[in-house]
Amino acid sequence: MSGTRPPARPAPRPASRCCKRNVFSAENTFDLKYSQACELGCISAGANDKQIKAASEFGECIGIAFQIQDDILDVTSSDEELGKPVGSDAENSKSTYVSLLGIEKCRELVDELTKKAVNALQGFDGDTTELEDFAYKLAKRNK
């Protein structure tokens, strides 16, 4: 199949349709991995379109919240507390959510995205407590 070009890579998505911001994800595939993993789990289980969409939103929101929290910890934590070197993003002049928005705004976004992720779970029947707890644990992690 020479002469056939691979599909064009999609443009980076906004940091979140969930929170309607114009920030581009520093790790633009990070949220996609969580979103797609959640979708695939639902598809495998025979979920309906509403549930697949809810799972996608849940995954996207927790994926972005996780990345933002990671950026916050890179600035506010210690090597000992985090278990890995901190400050490397700044040393490498890496563009992060914190460098673009500041720590306080990032903390607000983590809370907002986590709430939106939990709200997305309303698309499912049954007990979603474990997924809700998981989302809140990711948002409040310090490692």
pLDDT at 22 over 90: no
pLDDT of residue 31: 55
* Residue with the larger pLDDT of the pair 17 and 39: 39
Average pLDDT, the chain: 82
State the average pLDDT over residues 28-34.
Answer: 61
Angle, CA 17 vertex, CA 15 and CA 21 arms, to 5°: 55
Q: Could you report the per-residue pLDDT of 39-82, keeping only the tens digit for each?
A: 988 999 999 999 999 999 999 999 999 999 999 999 999 888 88
pLDDT of residue 3: 53
Query: What pTM did the predictor assign?
Result: 0.76
Tell me the DSSP string of the chain: -TTPPPPPPPPPPBS-TTTT--PBPTTTTHHHHHHHHHHHHHHHTT--HHHHHHHHHHHHHHHHHHHHHHHHHHHHS-HHHHTS--SHHHHTT---HHHHH-HHHHHHHHHHHHHHHHHHGGGSSS--HHHHHHHHHHHH---
Q: How would residue 85 be classed by pLDDT, with cut points 50, 70 and 90?
A: confident
